[in-house]
């Protein structure tokens, strides 16, 4: 009965692990989307954010020049 209750809550008996795509560290797989460790995820997020901001500003500046 206790196992049934744990399954309903989403708790597992064994933890699942996989490797970080970037550095290869073992990380606990909390969800299906887990791909990177915390450090690599932060670096990748910052890099993507910088790229998107750069592109956004480029579009804004090109609109200003055409006016």
Mean pLDDT of the 9-26 span: 83
Distance CA 25, CA 40 (A): 10
**pLDDT band of 11, cuts 50, 70, 90:** low
- Go through 15-45 and write b for each residue having 16 or more CB atoms within 10 A of its CB, e for each that does not: eeeeebeeeeeebeeeeeeebbbeebbeeee
Reply yes or no on whether the pLDDT at 7 is more than 70: no
Percent of the residues in the chain that have a pLDDT greater than 90, as a whole number: 55
**pTM (predicted TM-score):** 0.65
pLDDT digits (tens, 9 = 90+) for 33-65: 999 999 999 999 999 999 999 999 999 999 877
């Amino acid at each position: 009965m206790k196992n049934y209750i744990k399954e309903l809550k989403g708790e597992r008996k064994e933890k699942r692990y996989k490797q970080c795509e970037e550095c290869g560290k073992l990380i606990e797989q909390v969800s299906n989307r887990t791909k990177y460790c915390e450090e690599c995820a932060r670096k990748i997020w910052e890099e993507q954010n910088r790229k998107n901001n750069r592109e956004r500003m480029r579009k804004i500046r090109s609109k200003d020049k055409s006016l």
